[in-house]
Chains A and B, each alone.
Chain A
């Protein structure tokens, strides 16, 4: 597993470069959910954590695992498998929580199976989901990319994090 190292450079500086013919190049964080590789825009991810103790919240939506404290900050942890309607699995040694920033500014934790690496994708490399798969895709899927390492499903973090407790 490729270790993700945070640099001191401002995220924008590394996360966005323009290549003349292929459009804007952005950085994405790739991770595994139920055996598939997914990725989200790196700029929305604040931190990657090993799961701390999580307190269940009775009556919360099914997607919500519970709440935990990250150095004094109260964070709601969402099971990304459940939110993506994937088959459930227990937390493993490799499970990680991505601290993602919602549009509202709230920091939400997303539980994923395993964090892979940061990938760089130019706009031209991304196929918009609706045009490839038709209109019937999850509202959370933004597009599909095929870097050298294989197929990556790009997720729309804004909709995932703000997705509420549907279901």
Chain B
């Protein structure tokens, strides 16, 4: 690897990563389009461009293996573009494999690893051995009375597009357009955009018959399934004349169905390409309107290292402390009789406060990314696994635009991937089984995301067989997680929750897919680390739904500051639903646990003073802070409510990493540090401690 600054290298990696993700998206759309019976050349072009850019980047950074892979892929995509090979399922598989390999190769380059990557060599071999199927030699184009002058100057790509459109039985049209030289760019773009709705503009050439020196006349060759009248109505204008390219002879037999090539009459109507190509004022092979789109995004976005944003957030946190000091100083001035100074300072404080809030919100917004980033990767996994296990899976994604903190997105991809794998592997039945119970042969996985208050909800729902509760319970008893006597006492929900215990699987033999990697217990732990919870619903025979509730951001939160004994704690408001006065007389003990009645429902209580073994006098008349995460509630009994405050949560160091119940710590206004309670973990601990087997609690420690 050449000596290149770390910063440039980092940028290289993140850019390469982005391009690979983009490539993956193009391929997924391509796959979907093919399955829907449409072929979209612009998607192949998009993929081609992505790989081409990767090749260039790789060359620049001396990433030789990445260069090699992108070079070979570029050839494959070029062959696709030019119709030298057909987009078969095999070719698509190969392209998807390549996307995954790019990930490996990129990691290896990043770690300066020279370890051989056997899959890479294997893939390169397969690409090399992938024979080029001969392009169709014969041409239904022969039916059209096309100007040989046009045919002579078509590029290989355009010729391919023309051929492929005609093979699909589309009509050809000639649009003769007068353009003002000054505005030709815009006008041409405009007509191309409008034309897209009706078909494909294959090429455009100047006719050389302009009426004045300020205008130019172009012939646009367009393929469309619409008839002339429709096109005229939609595209026609004063300066646009649309004509159908006439056919030489009418013969229905000579139009071969798409995909069947080399069966038409072999003719030589299409003239061979002349050696000297007439120089033309025309576009490059890659349509410019698409190239413009990608250029734009490059110039309008900035890549930011998340650590820099963390740093900014820290500064904002410290400014919040200054804000508190300002307010206190204003109060003091007032107390000392300096009313005018005090109110001036008060005004400054208010402005400062407002701007600071805006700044917080602004930085937060920068950290937010759409969940689509991770959903795209999941779509690839679904495609891959469903092919491997030979199940037909339809993935339906909604809410990909829902935004969440970048850090959370990163940590989310492994747990989600595991759940998707589970759904395909354990959840969805084989198509034969499905048909026998009257379900459609293709299984459906729905991935839904939406925002709910300060939380983002992600649901993974499959229409498979559902969780076998009896088998799950049996397994839990067998591995000693549940006592046989207790079996009868468990509610359905509690039984389903057993799936999150370590060592419990819905299947005895681990399959290739779910056997490797992590179990649901690890998924749960990872979600909990993000301050989230996961719930499971399942109906036998109907399907399973996993619901993940996550905070939108981990960086800065509004919190309720409370006091217990002499210690101050913060509870993120996102998990607080209300706070009520504590009344000792309203407490009942049910099954060894203190509960109170809150508007007709039972609320389990937890006295923080006891849980944390805090000594010191009681400091206030007592409140119950009702925390709510997912659909579970817990009332925390505290001494005193201090108030609401925006806090920057800082992680506790490794020395304290094993201490449960805290999401981190934050600086309070009096320079002291306050601990931030992790409501999700507390609910888990307190409720699980009695409800379900104790292992559940330990596994979350």
Contact = CB atoms under 8 A, between A and B. Distances in A.
B612 A106 contact: no
Contact of A58 (B318, B612, B665, B674): B612
Contacts of B661: 58-59
Nearest to A71: B318
Contacts, number: 73
23 contacts: A52-B671, A53-B671, A54-B673, A55-B567, A55-B665, A57-B652, A57-B662, A57-B675, A58-B613, A58-B614, A59-B659, A59-B661, A60-B656, A69-B672, A74-B664, A76-B652, A76-B655, A76-B656, A78-B655, A102-B655, A106-B654, A107-B653, A165-B655
Of all A-B residue pairs in the complex, the 9 with the closest CB atoms, nearest first, are A58-B612, A55-B673, A76-B655, A74-B650, A76-B653, A106-B653, A53-B672, A69-B673, A59-B659
B247 interface: no
A149 interface: no
Interface string A70-87: 001011101000000000
Given A59-B659, A107-B653, 5 more contacts: A52-B671, A55-B665, A55-B672, A58-B613, A67-B652
Contacts of A102: 654-655
B673 A108 contact: no
B667 interface: yes
B317 interface: yes
Given A64-B656, A67-B652, A108-B653, A72 B662 contact: no
Interface residues of B, number: 28
- From DSSP, what is the main secondary structure of chain B's interface residues? mixed
A53 B611 CA distance: 24
Contacts of B452: none
Interface of A: 52-60, 64, 66-69, 72, 74-76, 78, 102, 104, 106-108, 161, 164-165
B526 to A, nearest CB: 21
Interface of B: 314, 317-318, 567, 611-614, 650-656, 658-662, 664-665, 667, 671-675
Contacts of A106: 653-655
Contacts of A64: 655-656
A59 B660 contact: yes
B28 to A, nearest CB: 40
B673 A60 contact: no
Given A59-B660, A67-B665, A67-B673, A74 B653 contact: yes
Contacts of A66: 673
B665 A74 contact: yes
Contacts of B655: 64, 76, 78, 102, 106, 108, 161, 164-165
A74 B652 contact: yes
A60 B672 contact: no
B667 A69 contact: yes
Nearest to B608: A58
A4 B148 CA distance: 92
Contacts of B662: 57
Contacts of A67: 652, 656, 665, 673, 675
B674 A55 contact: yes
Nearest to B564: A58
Nearest to A58: B612
Contacts of A69: 667, 671-673
Given A57-B662, A74-B650, A68 B317 contact: no
Contacts of A60: 656, 659
Contacts of A161: 655
B653 A57 contact: no
A160 B314 CA distance: 29
Nearest to A74: B650
B673 A68 contact: yes
A17 to B, nearest CB: 32
Contacts of B672: 53, 55, 69
